[in-house]
Amino acid sequence: MTYLKIEKVSKQYDEDNMALEGFSLEVPKGNVISMVGESGSGKSSLLRIIAGLEIQSAGLVYLGDQKILNPNEKLVPGYDEIQLIHQEYKLYPNSTVEENIARPLLMYDKAYQKERVEELLDLLTLTAHRHKKPRQLSGGQQQKVAIARALSIEPEVLLLDEPFSSLDAIQKRELIEELKQIFESLQVTVIFVTHDLDDALLLTEQLFIIHKGKLIQQGNAEDVFRHPANLYVAKLFGYLNVLPGKENNFVRPSDIHFLKSGGIKAKVQKRQYLIHYNLLTVQLEGSGEIWRVEDKEREFQEGDTLFLDFDEDKVLYLEK
Ligand SMILES: Nc1ncnc2c1ncn2[C@@H]1O[C@H](COP(=O)(O)OP(=O)(O)OP(=O)(O)O)[C@@H](O)[C@H]1O
């Protein structure tokens, strides 16, 4: 069942700046999706329009049967059901963790407030920090408080706008993995917006790729990886090697394997030690083309001669 529906939404800030163009998207209830796109592709504008915080130039947003009204149509912009969280989560600096989480619940009765705060402290493993002020917490813990606060009024939809950008890599990975489980258990509908495909994939395999204000591809990670819609999408997954003499044909470094002899002869120019493999920069004999290949066994050194091969079905035909 379609739950959150974005119908041909456009946003034009000024004459030559089309932030979103005929953008349509449907997210079933309880789904967690990642929206990936480079800076300026329109991600934040889209989330603000979904949340009813920005006036679209055209198009409609629905949550179930309810049409989302924009600030022109609604006296108090925004909806309790749709919570937007971004990098600059503004916690109340002089309130404790539990007071911050309880803040949106002030209209509810005391017993419910208390019960809900306990639930969220537990869910986000913040109980030990309940009496601390935000400045006494790490960036990741502060972001968890912001998320707990957004979850306090049991929203239907959570919109995450690059919320982890200020965290270091380890903090980020741990927090995303923790949130993944929490979102699954709550059955909340989530749109996670990021420019970083690795972060996107940590949370969910359901990918939506946005480029220059348009949705250019959607699908599960493996499909998008194997059948990217264009060169832009393919490059989100990493470097591409051009086949000599065939400028629209590419092969990924991870799809190249080594032979004892035969195949494509190449010489190692550079070797970089990366976490899962050595990345080799090689020059192909004959064409002089520069390729990157993954040496998972960490066998080869600069100056070595290699014999490379790949399966035809791994070749990507991509227009610019
Ligand atoms: N309030 C505004 N006034 C004018 N132009 C804007 C405004 N907000 C965004 N834009 C422009 O709209 C386009 C899309 O911006 P948006 O912030 O939605 O993209 P984004 O993908 O979220 O980028 P980032 O990741 O850098 O935040 C950009 O060209 C941006 O300069």
Ligand 1 contact via 37 beta carbon (within 6 Å): yes
Ligand 1 contact via 15 beta carbon (within 6 Å): no
C-beta separation of 33 from 86 below 8 A: no
Q: What does the pLDDT read at residue 187? A: 87
What DSSP line would sit under 72-121, residue for residue? TT-SS-SBTTEEEEESS----TTS-HHHHHHGGGTTS-HHHHHHHHHHHH
Ligand 1 contact via 92 beta carbon (within 6 Å): no
Nearest CA to ligand 1 atom 28: 40
pLDDT digits (tens, 9 = 90+) for 36-46: 999 999 999 99
Place of tokens 């402290």: 121
CA 46 – ligand 1 centroid, Å = 10
Mean pLDDT of the chain: 93
C-beta separation of 199 from 165 below 8 A: no
Nearest CA to ligand 1 atom 16: 42
Closest to 55 measured CA to CA, from 40, 43, 69, 41: 69
Nearest CA to ligand 1 atom 23: 40
Distance CA 315, CA 246 (A): 11
Distance CA 143, CA 127 (A): 15
Ligand 1 contact via 50 beta carbon (within 6 Å): no
Residue 12 vs residue 168, higher pLDDT = 12
pLDDT digits (tens, 9 = 90+) for 11-22: 999 888 899 999
Q: What does the pLDDT read at residue 1? A: 54
Q: What does the pLDDT read at residue 186? A: 87
CA 282 – ligand 1 centroid, Å = 39
Ligand 1 contact via 40 beta carbon (within 6 Å): yes
Distance CA 124, CA 45 (A): 28
Distance CA 205, CA 152 (A): 27
pTM: 0.90
Ligand 1 contact via 212 beta carbon (within 6 Å): no
ipTM for the predicted complex comes to 0.95
pLDDT digits (tens, 9 = 90+) for 83-112: 999 877 789 999 999 999 999 998 899 999
Amino acid, res. 216: I
296 — pLDDT class (breaks 50, 70, 90): very high
Ligand 1 contact via 38 beta carbon (within 6 Å): no
> How many other C-beta atoms are found inside a 10 Å radius of the C-beta of residue 90?
10
Which of 14-18, 71-75, 129-133 bottoms out in mean pLDDT, i.e. has the lowest? 14-18
231 — pLDDT class (breaks 50, 70, 90): very high
